[in-house]
């Protein structure tokens, strides 16, 4: 594994990775914490980070590609994380586009990728991953939407082994991504794991709400949604709700 910095507590591992990047830390540096006091989620949400039974960590990357490519790295991380979870626990998470991992249709892992630019170039790309590993319960507001590997498996999962398998699997896929700069090499595997494939989805947070059947991702990582009129729309950003999951009925 690459250089690992392990802290008992930090505000956010993404923030700490950013601070290290500013001080010249190298690509592949991993920051892990037992607790976060200001864990961040996507779309300005917070990430519940008060359990030493969870994994909270960030991987610092310094890619030379153009910023447009950065969002694809999130999908690389989702697939790599799902496969590492399967290798270590035997559980097979589904992916909710772009990068949530679900077990029993509840969230077990979230990924937040943050891009920092300097003089028009990527200075750092930080992939932050939070996995509910050995929690036995969750606070009221997230209890109905969240699960953990222990809850699903019925016995604890080794956090350190999972972290090591995940970093290996992510960095291997990331290096392959650097050769292609698109997702053709993992499109089929990703689509096989995609929970929304063939199901009705609702895309919000974009100029116009969109409803249709999710077909899978294209090689750019966009979610292809077939609308009622038969036309296919690639979705680049937005919040995708899958019918039947987290209250979308």
Question: Least Å distance between CB 106 and ligand BTN?
Answer: 13
CB of 33 to ligand BTN, least distance (A): 8
In angstroms, give the least distance from the CB of 114 to ligand BTN: 9
Torsion of CA 35, 37, 40, 45, to 10 degrees: 120
Which residue, 60 or 165, has its beta carbon nearer to ligand BTN?
A: 60
Q: Closer to ligand BTN by CB, 57 or 190: give it.
A: 57
* Cα separation values, 179 from 5, 72, 173, 176, 229, Å: 28, 13, 10, 5, 37
CB 145, min distance to ligand BTN, A: 11
Cβ distance to ligand BTN smaller for residue 112 or 225 = 112
Cβ 146 to ligand BTN, closest distance in Å?
Answer: 10
Nearer to ligand BTN, 212 or 235 (CB): 235
Rule CB under 6 A: which residues touch ligand BTN?
12-14, 36, 39-42, 45, 47, 56-58, 100, 110-112, 128-130
Looking at beta carbons, which residue is closest to ligand BTN? 110
CB-based burial label for 243 (10 Å; 0-12, 13-18, 19+): middle
Cis peptide before 98 (omega within 30 of 0): yes
DSSP state at residue 237: S
Residue closer to ligand BTN by CB (options 74, 218) is 74
DSSP code, position 93: P
Q: State how far the alpha carbon of 227 is from the alpha carbons of 90, 184, 210, 241, in Å.
A: 36, 24, 8, 15
| CA dist., res. 182 & res. 164, Å (int) | 25
């Amino acid at each position: 594994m690459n250089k690992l910095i392990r802290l008992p507590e930090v505000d956010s591992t993404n923030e700490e990775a950013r601070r290290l990047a500013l001080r010249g830390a190298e690509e592949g540096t991993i920051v892990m914490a037992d607790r976060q006091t200001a864990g961040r989620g996507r779309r300005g949400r917070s990430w519940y980070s008060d359990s030493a039974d969870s994994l909270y960590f960030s991987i610092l990357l310094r890619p030379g590609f153009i910023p447009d490519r950065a969002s694809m790295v999130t999908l690389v991380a989702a697939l790599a994380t799902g496969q590492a979870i399967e290798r270590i626990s035997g559980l097979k998470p589904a992916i909710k586009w772009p990068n949530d991992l679900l077990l029993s249709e509840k969230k077990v892992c979230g990924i937040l990728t943050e891009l920092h630019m300097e003089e028009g170039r990527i200075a750092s790309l930080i992939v932050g991953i939070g996995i509910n590993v050995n929690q036995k319960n969750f606070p009221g507001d997230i209890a109905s939407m969240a699960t953990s590997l222990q809850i699903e498996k019925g016995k604890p999962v080794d956090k350190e082994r999972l972290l090591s398998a995940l970093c290996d699997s992510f960095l291997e896929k990331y290096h392959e991504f650097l050769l292609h700069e698109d997702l053709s090499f993992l499109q089929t595997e990703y689509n096989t794991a995609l929970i929304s494939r063939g199901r009705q989805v609702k895309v919000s947070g974009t100029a116009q709400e969109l409803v249709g059947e999710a077909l899978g991702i294209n090689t750019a990582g966009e979610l292809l949604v077939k609308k009622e009129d038969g036309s296919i729309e690639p979705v680049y950003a937005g919040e995708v709700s899958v019918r039947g999951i987290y209250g979308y009925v």
